[in-house]
Structure 1
Amino acid sequence: MNEKKYHVLLYYCYTRIEDPEQYRLEHHQFCLDHNLRGRIIIAHEGLNGTVSGLPDDCERYMAYVKADSRFAHTDFKIEAHEGHAFQKLHVRVKPEIVHSGLRHIDPTVRTGQHLSPQEFREIKGSDDVVIVDVRSNYEHELGRFKGALTFDIENFRDFPEKVKELEPYKGKKIVTYCTGGIKCEKASAYLLEQGFENVYQLHGGIIKYGLETDGEDFEGRCYVFDGRVVTDINKKNPVVVSRCCVCQQPSDRMVNCANPVCNLHAPMCEACGQEMEGACSPACREHPEKRPYDGTGYYAKEMNGYDPYHALKSTQKHLS
């Protein structure tokens, strides 16, 4: 087994950033100086990122973020990995730190009550508790908490139109969860806005639950948005809940369809992966743009002479 010499950091922080573009420049430069890679989003409403690097560089990064009073309360989830979880560094300014369509909601003003992983584990099986997964289809199909309610949504921005499905449970305690906690800040706040009274959220999401408990009753594996694609959560009673999209046999091996026009996120067993050359269907296997299959089903975007300093220099020139 490869030694896990790197760390992967997952975090978010809702806070007011008056000049996101200027902060992006500073933040980007710090990451370059400390050999960090990842995807970081900066908006007026806060900061959201997944970053990979050597442990010392990650420690410096966390200290740098928390040294700014705006981000002092940021909660970092730290996982070990064999290498960088990203090929590139992207630090971008966007309208929201997670695309929700709920821009009027400010989680720093009102949101669902946070439950620690230990508190969540204690109440998740209670009769008066409803556990709600606010993630997309391909995420909860791969893994989810036992007994959780899931929604048929392709993106988080579709969540508001599904809230009506929770009306029968309005008198119970509603506990939302997602990968790292960021979506639940707005999902739980939206539920409060819609008249739900007893609304909670799993603080730090599935990842923190796995890190701080034995992961009991999380069935399957957790989809993550980096080169790992999936990560294990349950150390106590793990089961496989997903099925290969080709042969329908149990499989928790996640791939992207080799046809980039399709790019379906779906479980696919190794045998079908080889037979189908990484494609989810015969039509995709024969598609003229199908990517070569290397056995992983993960396709990083083409580097195309990628220069991590280019975006920094372009923005500096624009602002000068």
Structure 2
Amino acid sequence: MSDILNISCYKFTPLPDAAALRETLAERAAALPIKGTILIAEEGINFFLAGPAQAVRGFVDQMRTDARFADLAPKESWSDTVPFRKMLVKVKREIIRMDHPAIRPASGRAPSVSPATLRRWLEQGHDDEGREVVTLDTRNDFEVDAGAFRQAIDWRITRFTEFPPALRAHKAQLAGKTVVSYCTGGIRCEKAAILMQDEGLEHVYQLEGGILKYFEETDGAFYDGGCFVFDERRAVGADLAVTPLPGTDTD
């Protein structure tokens, strides 16, 4: 069994002390054999870490002693090596840039759907009220090219800041349908779902935990290809193991 634990996690919660928190977390991380990236903003935290399981889980347990992070629930996968070269802790304006300051997930989340429920909906072809279900990919085009839900809506955006205008241009095709927004780990589809609600779409959900949680909690059905990840693994499959990107020479 691979013995390097990889985790990804985020939480929208007000962090007015982002600069001081950066110093605290950087100091803790430096004392452990872990690498990765931690992004902190006034709106919350987003992090990707890898290392020996005891060290990674110990770091998260220490974070949970802060009441704002008590319910952190990282998504886990395993690899043979650490897919990061350094440990970076940064303060940013947003933990995922949308350039839409009115969207503040910490003030109230959009409804979410569990991986198991989405799988059931896709299998039966409709939601529990008989409404057509569509999946909306909120990732960048090159990520979608690595793998996506079957027949997902893909607006070929190249950065997340393009999502709001793309939504306004294509909103009519979503009307009257149950729309499940999804992304790698949940952070982009959470902001996207809130924006869709604000734009007047009635039946909107975010996929809880994103593709990675879908892989973790289901058999990966109705998803074709791998999930692009922003580390040296490049992509993982439904078994959360490293998988080649389409067109990659594996010889």
Give the TM-score taking structure 1 as reference length: 0.72
Q: Kindly report the root-mean-square deviation, in angstroms, between the aligned alpha carbons of the 2 structures.
A: 1.7
Structure-2 residue corresponding to 1:180? 185
Taking the aligned partners of 2:135 and 2:247, their CA distance within structure 1 comes to 27
1:201 to 189, 201, 206: 206
Matched, 1:18 2:16: yes
In 2, distance between residues paired with 1:223 and 1:213? 18
Please identify, of 110-119 and 176-185, the stretch whose mean Cα deviation from structure 2 is larger. Answer: 110-119
Tell me the equivalent position of 2:92: 94
Paired with 1:37 and 1:107, the residues of 2 have a C-alpha distance of 28
Q: Which has the higher contact order (CA 8 A, sep 6+)?
A: 2
1:151 aligned residue: 155
1:131 partner letter: T
- Pick from 162, 165, 171: which aligns with 2:166? 162
The answer on whether the counterparts of 2:14 and 2:106 sit within 8 Å (CA) in structure 1 is: no
- Report how far residue 122 of structure 1 moved: 1.2
Cα distance in 1 between the residues matched to 2:248 and 2:196: 38
Report the 3-state secondary structure (helix = DSSP H, G, I; strand = E; otherwise coil) of the residue aligned with 1:67.
Answer: coil
CA contact (8 A) 1:15 1:45 kept: yes
Corresponding residue SS for 1:83: coil
Aligned to 1:253: 244
- Aligned equivalent of 2:236: 231
The Cα of 1:222 is off from its aligned counterpart by 0.6
Counterpart of 1:111, as a letter, is R
Q: Distance in 1 between matches of 2:14 and 2:107?
A: 12
Asked if the contact 1:218–1:234 (Cα under 8 Å) also holds between the matched residues in 2, the reply is: no
Amino acid at match of 1:268: G
The residue type equivalent to 1:205 in the other structure is G
Paired with 1:122 and 1:65, the residues of 2 have a C-alpha distance of: 35
Structure 1 CA distance, aligned partners of 2:106 and 2:173?
A: 28
Are 2:64 and 1:66 equivalent residues in the alignment? yes
Q: Give the letter for the 1:253 counterpart.
A: P
Matched, 1:215 2:206: no
What one-letter code is carried by the residue in structure 1 that aligns with 2:197?
L
Aligned-pair CA distance for 1:234 = 6.2
Are 2:27 and 1:6 aligned? no
Q: Which residue of 2 aligns with 1:79?
A: 77
Cα contact 2:43–2:106 (8 A) shared by 1? no
Q: Which amino acid aligns with 1:135?
A: R
Structure 2 unmatched runs, 5+: none
1:265-318 per-position Cα deviation (integer Å, ceiling 9, x unaligned): xx43328xxxxxxxxxxxxxxxxxxxxxxx9xxxxxxxxxxxxxxxxxxxxxxx
Fraction of identical pairs, as percent: 32
Shift of 1:152: 1.4
Distance 1:269 1:189 in 2: 36
Larger Rg: 1
State the 1:8 CA deviation.
Answer: 0.3
d(CA) in 2 for partners of 1:79, 1:17: 28
Instruction: Mark the CA change 1:99 to 1:156 in structure 2 (over 3 Å): closer, same or farther.
Output: same
Matched, 1:191 2:196: yes
Structure 1 unaligned spans of 5+: 236-251, 255-266, 272-294, 296-320
Instruction: State the alpha-carbon separation in 2 of the partners of residues 154 and 6 from structure 1.
Output: 31
Query: Which AA in structure 2 matches 1:196?
Result: L
Q: Equivalents in 1 of 2:95, 2:59: separation in Å? A: 19
Q: 2 CA distance for matches of 1:167 and 1:159? A: 15
CA distance in 2, matches of 1:205, 1:168: 23
Closer/same/farther in 2, CA of residues 234 and 85 from structure 1, 3 Å limit: closer
Deviations 1:254-274 (A, max 9, x none): 3xxxxxxxxxxxx43328xxx
